[in-house]
Structure formats: C-alpha cells, structure tokens
Structure 1
Amino acid sequence: MFRAGDTVPFCFSLTAPLPCFTIKAAGMRKERIEMNKIAFIGVGIMGKSMVRNLMKAGYSLTIYSRTKAKCEDVIAEGAVWADTVADCVRDAEAVFSIVGYPKDVEEVYFGDGGIISNAQPGALIVDMTTSSPALAERIWEAGKAKGLRPLDAPVTGGDTGAKAGTLSILVGGDKVDFDACLPLFQAMGKIIVHMGSAGAGQHAKLANQIAIAGALSGVCEALTYARANGLNLDDLLSAISAGAAGSFQMQSLGPKMAVGDFAPGFIMKHFIKDMKLSVEQSETIGLALPVLTQVLSECRSLEEAGLGDLGTQGLIRYYEK
C-alpha cells in the first residue's frame, strides 16, 4: 500500500519496455515539472556552445547578445532572436546569462529593461558569469522581492568543456531552486555542485581562479626553463603531464604554449577581471594571496602591451621577454 505523498515507481509495457518515471501517490503529481521555454543572454565563446547543448537537450531557446551577426549560426540552428533583454526574458521559465564583466551583469539584471523587471514571477534567473559575490547577493535579494528564483552559477572547463557539455557548474542560491534547475544544468555540465547560499557559487569560482593562476604560472615557468636549457617541449610535456606535475593547464595549454598558439579559449582580459575580483574579496577579510597578486601583475603588463585578447596561455609571453 502507498500513502498520499509516497514516491511510487510507475512504468508499463505493451510489447517493449518503456522508461519509468516517478509520480506522487494520491494526486498523480509529477516529481518535477519540466521547463521548456529558456532565455539565454550572452552568446559568446562560452554561451554559444551552452545554447547549442540546451537545444540538443530539447529546450526552446530565445537568445539576446550585443551583436546579432555573431549569433546567426545558432539562429539558423533553431534559436529565436530577441531584440532586447526584456523581450528575451518576458515569457521564459528560466533565464541564463553569461556576459563579460560585473558591470555587464548589472546592466542586464537591473533597470527597467533588465531581467529582474521583466522576467515572469516564478522564473529561474541564473547568472553564469564569473562576477562579484556581493553582486550575486544583490541579484538574489532583488529577484526574490519580485517573486523570482535567482541562482549564481559560474562555470569552469573553458570553451572545450562548453562545447562538450562537460562544464563544472558551481551554484549558489536556495537548494529548492538548484534542484529545479538541475535538468538544465545537466544539459551543459557534468559536475554540478550546490555550494551554498547566494554568492557561494561566485566564491567557489574565485577559489578556482586562484588555483588556476598558480598552476598556469608554474607551467609557463617550467616551459621557459626547459626551452632555455635546450629541451624539446613536446617531449617534456609527454614525460611529465601524467605525473605529479600534471594539471589541466599543462595538458590543455602546455602544447599550445610550446607552438605559440595563443588563440583564446579563455581570454586574458577576462582572467584579469577574475583575479582582480579574487584579490578584492581577499582584501575584505585581510587575506594575502602573493602568488595570485604576482600573476595578476604579470597579466596586466601583457594587457598594457596590447595582448589582453590572447588566451590565458599567452602568459608565457611574459616570461619570454
């Protein structure tokens, strides 16, 4: 016997097995209501692949980005273009954004034409930009006041992970809203973790960027040392990448550094923004991060030299001076 509210496995078959799904006893309610109408703001290097993966999972996408011409390929694949943020989000059940800087996040979320003023009550609003934890908390407070369900959900894994749908997604906000959004996250990522309350996703991402700074700098120094001593960099990378020195930075970016391929998967100037946010957050609690501070200084010197649009592997240019 099942009581009202019990979770009951339900499946049936005529001539072939059909998938089972879960219902609630007494009332036949589905465990989770499937969302379909999704808005996505920011269709750049990362966002475009995330839009594609959501469409592959069967969701209907309405998109907005600053330059429509850069979105024509995903429009041809089925995404619907909106001319404004307000038009993009108005009827959506879930709204995602991944833009450049905190000021861009403020622009798309606040004001009469922003997400918070125009999304329908009950909609999930999910910022996946690496941004300020304090700004994530502001969005949460303003969104809740409007009956929305805000989450901060920055990602890691780069353009490769975005294309493959294997991003790690670090989420802050209410657990019930995280649970509701999980099927959408699963269309874009492989490792999806609820880190805590509003802003916790951003804190987790900044910790990630701090770790990357040290690893990236280490790879640059190792390859610079090896080259100065006449070693073949391909041989070196093959020999040490699978050992204790191995890391994503070495395995993914080391070969690019070796051949001078600095095309961006993750743009240097965006990494500078992330490191700057990390330093600022650390200063508010009196925490010194000397390695991060040094790498930030190195990247800034490259940006000042006009190299801010290189991929982060371009940091090796600093050591080649």
Structure 2
Amino acid sequence: MQNIAWIGTGVMGRSMCLHLMNKGYKLSVYNRTREKAADLIEKGAQWCDTPAQAAQGADVIFTIVGYPADVEAVILGEEGVLKTAKKGAIVVDMTTSEPSLAVKIAEEATKQGVNTLDAPVSGGDLGAQKGTLAIMCGGKPEVFESVLPLLQTFGENIKLMGADGAGQHTKMCNQILIATTMIGVVESLLYGHKAGMDMNEVIDVIGSGAAASWSINNLGRRIADGNFDPGFFIKHFVKDMGIALKEADLMNISLPGLAMAHQFYRAAMAQGLENLGTQGLYKVFESMNQPN
C-alpha cells in the first residue's frame, strides 16, 4: 500500500480521507484544527504537527484547504509539503484555487523532482460522503494515471482536462454554472412558498423535468427542510466566484450573470451568513421580500 499524506480534514477532506482508510491505505494527516481530525486519528491515521511532517516519506500528498493563500502556505510555505517531499512523490491539490497558482506549484515541484496534479472536486459534502465526487484534473497524463486508483476511492466522474491549471479552469466553469443556477433555485422556491405550495412537492415535479439540476434536487431539498448547514461554505463560494471573475478579466470576457450572483452572495456575507451552505442564499432573497 502507498503511504499517503492528507492535508485538510474539513467538511470534504474528512470524508475523502475515510474512503482511503477504509481501503487500507496508511495515512498521515494534518489539519489546522486538530479536533477536526480526531475521529481519523482514532481510526488509525497518524497525526502530524505540520504539513511538512505529514509529507515526509509519503508517496502521494493530498491537500484540500480553504483559500489560495492556504494552498500556497501548505505546499510552498516554510512548513509546506515541498520542504520534505521525497523525489518522485506526487502532490495532488484538490482545493478550488487559482489556475496560475497550480502552474506555479508545478514549476516549483518539478525543480525538486516532485510531480503535481491540480484536482479540484465537485459534489459537496454528500458527494464526498458517498464517494461520488466529480474530479477535474490538470497535469501530466502519466501522473494522472498513477493516482487514478486513489481518486477512484472517493470519486466517480474523474477526467484529465489538460496540462497544469486545466483542472482549476474546469472547476471555474463548474462554479460559474452553479452560481447562476442557485439564483434560479432560490427564486423558484421562494415563489412557490409565497404561492402557498409545498416546496418538496414542487421539487418532486420540476426536479424531474427540463428544470432539473443537482442544485434543485439536493440543495433545494435542504432549503425546503430549513437546513442551511454547509455542504460548501458561502465564504468559499464567494472566493471561487472571485477567482473566476479575475480569470475572466484576464481573458477579456464579460460574465454579467456571474457578477450578479457574486454580488448576491456578497450580500449574504454582509448579513453574517458566510458560514452557511450555499443554499443560504435563500435567506437573502427571503429578507428582500419581507413586508415593510
């Protein structure tokens, strides 16, 4: 079995870790807050005090953290994984991050004889728990093929999209589509609620027709049940949309739908909803439609 280092055991990372452990892989783990890795440690994962310590001797090093600055710190920083990664090791960053940072990491890793793959995921907490994540990858074909069996323990739709950074560009396409879809989801359900309809019954019908989407059938159910717990944090979604808008500006293209969704989600942040799941956007629209 390969020795694996795992950096980041939050909402997504913890479940992904568990899938690997259940397959018998030996894991060394690091998380900024040790408590979030407690159950993994109880199941046999080796706790490490720094990303560099976790990476020492590992064949494959996974990272899934919050923001690009966090990615840079845990991979390229003073206590980052590249400080101790052995020659021939593979660093797989599964954070949704900047395509340019993925290229920078690949360049720095290559100097040390380390391989990389940028491999952001889609599917939320449910996809991580069920092992059905979509994983979009950027990097060398031979590196992708060598880690594919590991990715298949928690992913279902896994594809190499191109060279370094291509995985991140694909994830931006994913987030752009979700951003505007979520406006439709919350407006649709708010309309149904105000019309006196049962939200779940509405979803039963429209979720199987031309309006069907993952968002209405999964996050719409959570809205109907009054469940705004995070499968993916609003604050992280705002980060992702900001990256996409920045990349769009560099390509000299206009994405007005994304810009509008970004502003609505920033309004959610301003209302203190940043730690809710992305379905928390419903609360913003609900508050805009309260009687005076």
Same fold (TM over 0.5): yes
Q: Please tell me the root mean square deviation across aligned C-alpha atoms, in Å.
A: 0.9
SS at match of 1:292: helix
Aligned to 1:140: 106
1:242-298 alpha-carbon deviations (Å, 9 max, x no partner):
001011100001121123210111111011111111111001011111111111100
Q: Does 1:54 align with 2:20?
A: yes
SS at match of 1:62: strand
The structure with more radius of gyration: 1
Q: Indicate if the aligned counterparts of 2:52 and 2:82 stay in contact, CA closer than 8 A.
A: no
| TM-score normalized with structure 2 length | 0.96
Aligned to 2:290: none
Report the CA distance shift for 1:36/1:288 in structure 2 as closer, same or farther (over 3 A). Answer: same
TM-superposed CA distance for 1:111, in Å, is: 3.0
Aligned partners of 2:18, 2:187: CA distance in 1, in Å?
A: 37
SS at match of 2:83: helix
**Which amino acid is 1:170 matched to?**
M
Report the CA distance shift for 1:264/1:111 in structure 2 as closer, same or farther (over 3 A). Answer: closer
Higher alpha-carbon deviation: 231-240 or 309-318: 231-240
TM-superposed CA distance for 1:169, in Å, is: 0.7
Pick from 281, 286, 291 the counterpart of residue 315 of structure 1. 281
Aligned to 2:149: 183
Aligned to 1:75: 41
Q: Does 1:112 align with 2:78?
A: yes
Superposition map of 1:150-299 within 5 A: 150-299=116-265
TM-superposed CA distance for 1:62, in Å, is: 0.4
Aligned partners of 1:112, 1:212: CA distance in 2, in Å?
A: 36
| Structure 1, unaligned runs of 5 or more | 1-34
Aligned partners of 1:209, 1:70: CA distance in 2, in Å?
A: 26
| Structure 2, unaligned runs of 5 or more | 288-292
SS at match of 1:320: helix
TM-superposed CA distance for 1:151, in Å, is: 0.6
Aligned partners of 2:185, 2:69: CA distance in 1, in Å?
A: 32
Q: Indicate if the aligned counterparts of 2:118 and 2:168 stay in contact, CA closer than 8 A.
A: yes
SS at match of 2:95: coil
Higher alpha-carbon deviation: 112-121 or 151-160: 112-121
Aligned partners of 2:86, 2:220: CA distance in 1, in Å?
A: 46
Aligned partners of 1:257, 1:287: CA distance in 2, in Å?
A: 33
TM-superposed CA distance for 1:141, in Å, is: 0.4
Aligned partners of 1:95, 1:46: CA distance in 2, in Å?
A: 16
Aligned partners of 2:227, 2:130: CA distance in 1, in Å?
A: 21
Question: What is the aligned length?
Answer: 287
SS at match of 2:284: helix
With a CA cutoff of 8 Å and minimum separation of 6, indicate the structure with the bigger relative contact order.
2
Aligned to 1:122: 88
1:160-185 alpha-carbon deviations (Å, 9 max, x no partner):
11111111110000111001111111
Pick from 86, 93, 97 the counterpart of residue 63 of structure 2. 97
Q: Indicate if the aligned counterparts of 2:5 and 2:29 stay in contact, CA closer than 8 A.
A: yes
**Which amino acid is 2:284 matched to?**
Y
Q: Percent of pairs identical after alignment?
A: 45
Aligned partners of 2:3, 2:71: CA distance in 1, in Å?
A: 22
Q: Does 1:40 align with 2:2?
A: no
SS at match of 1:187: coil
TM-superposed CA distance for 1:112, in Å, is: 3.2
Aligned partners of 1:112, 1:317: CA distance in 2, in Å?
A: 41
Higher alpha-carbon deviation: 162-171 or 96-105: 162-171
**Which amino acid is 1:263 matched to?**
D
TM-superposed CA distance for 1:85, in Å, is: 1.2
| TM-score normalized with structure 1 length | 0.88
TM-superposed CA distance for 1:228, in Å, is: 2.0
